Structure 1
Amino acid sequence: MTQPPNQPPQGGFGAPQDPPPGGGFGAPQTPPPPPQGPPQPGYGYPQQPPQQPGPYNSGPYASGPYGQPQQPGPYGQPGYGYPPQPQFPGAPGTPPPGGPGSRGSFKGKPAMIIGAAVAALLVIGGTVWAVSGDDGEKDKKPVSQQTDDPKPDGTSGAPVNPGDGSGDGGEDPENLNEGRKAGESQVLWYKEAPDAPGSGAEALGMWITDKTAVKAVYKQLSAYHVGDGKPAWEPITFPHKICSVTPTKTSDDKIVVAHMSGTSDRAKCNRLQLIDLDTGEKGWTEEVAEGALFDSVLSIEMSLAGDTLMVGRSMSGTAYDVTNGKKLFDTKKYGDACFPSGFAGGERLIQVAACGAGGDNEHDELRELDPRTGKVKWTYAYEKGWRVDHTFSVDPVVVHASNQDKDSWNIATFTAGGKVRSQVGVDEDFAPECGWAVLSRSLQSCQAAAVDGDTLYLPTVAAGGANEIVAIGLADGKEEWRVKSPVAESMQPMKVEGGKLIAYVKPSYDSGGQVLAIPTGGSDHKPVKLMQNPQGVADIERDFYSKAVDWVDGRFYISTTRLTGNDESKEKLMLAYGK
């Protein structure tokens, strides 16, 4: 059996513990010799020795979404029953998204965790982006260059075809580009929000191809030409509300949409439909089967791993061939009452399971599955008390976990064989804006984070002003560099293109948002402004309480992911900015 080293991984925060003698899970642990000197805290913080985790008393993991206590489900794990419903804009006590204590940030101390992996015990700790194996050279698209400042234009720059979100279009009731200043981008087009129930409606996903920008809202899927916003194809209306979508698209620009089976309290989220984003053509349809007792399809989570669609129930999962809808395999209960409870896709397929709920061996397990056969490639077991919350990447595998009792979080990077490569050792409050799911785990819901090659990029919490983006090396978990927002507003990483980190700076009350390009190599990481959104639209841009953003081919897209249902608020569904 391979034993972990006695010393912590480079960059780990706090002193790790040796595995229990003989490999027994949960056995007494002997602390190793202390590391040489205290770890280096993050930029701008005084250097102090690490503190021992104390009783949990603060941070978002002390409670469920929006500060309400989570209710344990039938298996004793948080998130396996119905958590409290979130409050939406206007509700009393609603915190600002991404702020301290909200679902958009993780606070507390970075900490080490101990886990058992298949035939070996591994040490894991800190908060970290994981990198595994050889990444190889990936194709990279060039970053769009900033063009000359546009001239102010109060008429000819009016966005076209605003419509109501259903693609019908019409005369522009309001010129969003009126009074646009030199140097500011223009709103190329926008869509007003369609009618929604008074209680609100989900507006899930946003997919951009070379031709179309596609948006799901309530019961409808609509597509617009990226350049002018005109309808690309007739909107698709489903018989019942859309309840889940694949967050990413296939290599040939297709997605899978799930809609409810009806409107009653017993309706299931189980009807799948393949859609071509460029043409609107419908492909195969499938109905997700109900699981065993307590294994519900009232809510599902979907992810794509190559040509495999993974559909996660509350306690199991089913894989389909996304090209034809044929079932590939099921992944169910295994081992010591281990129930699959979340999946993450991409270049690889990652599964999280909750094991031994309510017993001495209660813990979470991380697995990589073959996306075509379901065969287990490796398993990593976390110690009791640690909950796997999110994946920032699946290639390399980078996982965020939290421990409520210790007021601690951990980000670990795994190798291709499932061993811990590094752990983030940066003592910082990060705000990656991660969502949550009702019955299963929403492993791929973090937006404001990026990973590229050997580096993880995370935004810090904005404490009433500018925040920072921190670059963390995945080889050792140490901070490589950080850059501060150029204005007194928070910024978030979106993606890496052509050796530059593309970041979005949120709008203020007197200035529109910005898109920046931050060089990732060398020693100069000074941001270069790619786009300055118009001040005249700042209030609309700022009012996207829950949003999706993207930067594609020199255009910036922003859309809401939740409609309030207030007919008098004149909500916008989506805006596209360009030069």
Structure 2
Amino acid sequence: MSFGPAPSPFTQSLRAAKDRKKQRVKRWLSICGVLIVVTGVGSWFMWGGSPAANDAKSSNAPSSARQAPDEVSEADGKTPVNPEARMAVEYNDKKLKPGESSYLPGSWATAKTFAMAQGSTLTGYRFTQWDPVWSTRLGGAICSTTRHVTVDGRTAVVAQSGRGGKANAKSACNLLVVFNVDTGKKIWQVTLPHSDDAYATNMNVTLTRGVAVTAWGSGSAAYDLRQGKKLWEAPGKEACNDSGFAGGRDLLALQTCGSSDDDTSYRVQKIDRRTGKPEWTYQVGRGVGATYLVSSNPPVIAVAAGADSVTDLIVLDAHGKHRSTVALGVDRYVTDCGGSLFGTVESCDSVIVGSRQVFVGGKPSIEALFTDRPANSIAAFDLHSGKPVRKFKSKARRAMYPIQVSGDRLLAFRATDDNRAPSSVVSIDPKTGTERPYLLFEMPADMAALGEPESLDVTISHGRVFFAFKEIHAPTKADDSGLIPGVVGYESAG
């Protein structure tokens, strides 16, 4: 039996999206032998303005106050006692038949549990226990997930459903499920209204304080996170439709306007999570090929201007007014925007936003990966001015990419498939560039030598780091199938 769904409109739409993305990825990345895992053209007038107030000061500094149970959990700031790591979680697929593949659309971690989605099943693991402690099967294949988890361990997924509660290959992705990561218990589930045309490639789900929000291209809806009561619904409109949302501290909506590709434009709104009413609107300038929501607070969006990949980051202030533009140029940095097959707009995993700076990893050159020069560097840009303020250089032949901001430090991942040095997560002081080890570990070779940015989900939580493939493949030959690596996680050895 395989977790992989049978060929269907669900899998066909995913494969079509994946093929389009692969055509845009430069093939030299596969030579790099590094892991790309985490996450300028124009000026202010090019991107348009906002009719909001003109206060340019930001009120988005992170709060040190204790978070409420229904808030989205933020980086806990925990530092491992000892950087030498041991394996905390390992999952190898045993059920795929030769030539089959299976999607792992999401993974999450709390202080107690690592959980993952695969096919139509949610599975939870306790640390250093290799067998799952819970398993929850949904009605159909999981179509969309959010990386957000509440302080008390809840998150949300969208799965296929069908008439009479039985999903089939043609079922829409219209079942919203909220569950507890520690126990696997479904807290509630609802069928989304008027979502018969919702599929994995246009479905989006996110969390903000006390609310789960979904969009599917032709509509959107929000639900109380505790009870599952519908708070508001926004049916699709001909002029502008909700493409998706970014959650976390605040709620941002990305809207697509226009009826044809030649007439498409985008706007971003801050939404009152309980009522669905916009608090401000920012109109993205015309001529932008794609727009993504990077962060809700501080509000940061990514745009592709005159290129297939992201060229600029636009930083807004607390009132939706243009604050700065970070010019990235074309194919200079790893942003991973649009790299996810599951979820459509909140997907720039390699762009890491802090309270004062945004961090982006540079693309390594082929030459640098075979010399003693630093393979790449992480660039820090000032949110207020948009200007580069510092670069943190990696090591020779070992590229480095940002993962998250924890407290006042940046956590970054440096992979290697070289036996002379371990892979590592390092902690960097953005003010001085001083680096210290966070965790040191030996990764499986096939994870440490990946070449495409959309291949892995990376999660750091409570001093642990987890790597999960987004899609796993069994070899074509039957005698080579064996165990298929899917997830590995590390924690301090003490």
- TM-score band w.r.t. shorter chain: 0.7 to 0.9
TM-score (norm 2): 0.79
Superposition map of 1:243-392 within 5 A? 243-261=143-161, 264-291=168-195, 296-299=197-200, 300-333=203-236, 337-358=239-260, 362-392=264-294
Identity over aligned pairs, percent: 22
Distance 1:304-1:87 versus aligned 2 partners, 3 A rule: same
Q: 1:110 maps to what in 2?
A: 41
Q: 2:79 maps to what in 1?
A: 144
Alignment gaps of 5+ in structure 2: 1-12, 66-74, 370-374
Aligned with 1:237 (options 127, 134, 137) = 137
Distance 1:98-1:285 versus aligned 2 partners, 3 A rule: farther
Deviations 1:506-553 (A, max 9, x none): 2224344211111122xx313212222227x44454359611122333
The one-letter amino acid paired with 2:212 is L
The one-letter amino acid paired with 1:84 is A
The one-letter amino acid paired with 1:473 is D
Distance 1:406-1:265 versus aligned 2 partners, 3 A rule: closer
The separation in 1 between residues aligned to 2:243 and 2:335, in whole angstroms, is: 22
Distance 1:555-1:354 versus aligned 2 partners, 3 A rule: closer
Distance 1:359-1:252 versus aligned 2 partners, 3 A rule: closer
Instruction: Report the CA distance between 1:339 and its aligned residue.
Output: 1.6
1:451 aligns with 2:451: no
1:478 aligns with 2:387: yes
Alignment gaps of 5+ in structure 1: 1-80, 123-129, 149-183
The separation in 2 between residues aligned to 1:131 and 1:194, in whole angstroms, is: 54
Instruction: Report the CA distance between 1:315 and its aligned residue.
Output: 2.4
Distance 1:277-1:577 versus aligned 2 partners, 3 A rule: same
Instruction: Report the CA distance between 1:134 and its aligned residue.
Output: 4.3
The separation in 1 between residues aligned to 2:123 and 2:308, in whole angstroms, is: 46
Q: 2:7 maps to what in 1?
A: none
Q: 1:201 maps to what in 2?
A: 102
Larger strand proportion of the pair: 2
Aligned with 2:449 (options 528, 534, 542) = 542
Q: 1:528 maps to what in 2?
A: 436
TM-score (norm 1): 0.68
The separation in 2 between residues aligned to 1:360 and 1:426, in whole angstroms, is: 25
CA RMSD of aligned residues (A): 3.5
The separation in 2 between residues aligned to 1:358 and 1:276, in whole angstroms, is: 41
Q: Between 507-516 and 365-374, report the one with greater CA deviation.
A: 507-516
The one-letter amino acid paired with 1:513 is S
Aligned with 2:429 (options 492, 512, 519) = 519
Distance 1:349-1:541 versus aligned 2 partners, 3 A rule: same
Aligned with 2:484 (options 552, 571, 575) = 571
The separation in 2 between residues aligned to 1:280 and 1:505, in whole angstroms, is: 32
The one-letter amino acid paired with 1:321 is D
Deviations 1:237-293 (A, max 9, x none): 2232222222211232111222212565531111222211112222111111224xx
The separation in 2 between residues aligned to 1:378 and 1:478, in whole angstroms, is: 26
1:431 aligns with 2:334: yes
The one-letter amino acid paired with 1:147 is N
The separation in 2 between residues aligned to 1:209 and 1:359, in whole angstroms, is: 42
Contact 2:140 / 2:168 at 8 angstroms: preserved in 1?
A: no
Instruction: Report the CA distance between 1:314 and its aligned residue.
Output: 1.8
Q: Between 256-265 and 337-346, report the one with greater CA deviation.
A: 256-265
Superposition map of 1:7-22 within 5 A? none
Superposition map of 1:23-102 within 5 A? 84-87=16-19, 95=27
Deviations 1:74-107 (A, max 9, x none): xxxxxxx98934259x99x98376999xxx89xx
The separation in 2 between residues aligned to 1:409 and 1:426, in whole angstroms, is: 5
Instruction: Report the CA distance between 1:562 and its aligned residue.
Output: 0.9
Distance 1:309-1:411 versus aligned 2 partners, 3 A rule: same
The one-letter amino acid paired with 1:190 is E
The separation in 1 between residues aligned to 2:339 and 2:447, in whole angstroms, is: 25
Structure with max Cα Rg:
1
Contact 2:145 / 2:156 at 8 angstroms: preserved in 1?
A: yes
SS at match of 2:319: coil
Q: Between 271-280 and 468-477, report the one with greater CA deviation.
A: 271-280
Distance 1:249-1:382 versus aligned 2 partners, 3 A rule: same
Of structures 1 and 2, the one scoring higher in RCO (CA 8 A, sep 6+) is: 2
Count of aligned pairs: 441
The separation in 1 between residues aligned to 2:283 and 2:183, in whole angstroms, is: 44
Instruction: Report the CA distance between 1:555 and its aligned residue.
Output: 2.3
The separation in 1 between residues aligned to 2:228 and 2:465, in whole angstroms, is: 33
The separation in 1 between residues aligned to 2:47 and 2:53, in whole angstroms, is: 6
Contact 2:377 / 2:394 at 8 angstroms: preserved in 1?
A: yes
The separation in 1 between residues aligned to 2:233 and 2:241, in whole angstroms, is: 12
Distance 1:264-1:84 versus aligned 2 partners, 3 A rule: same
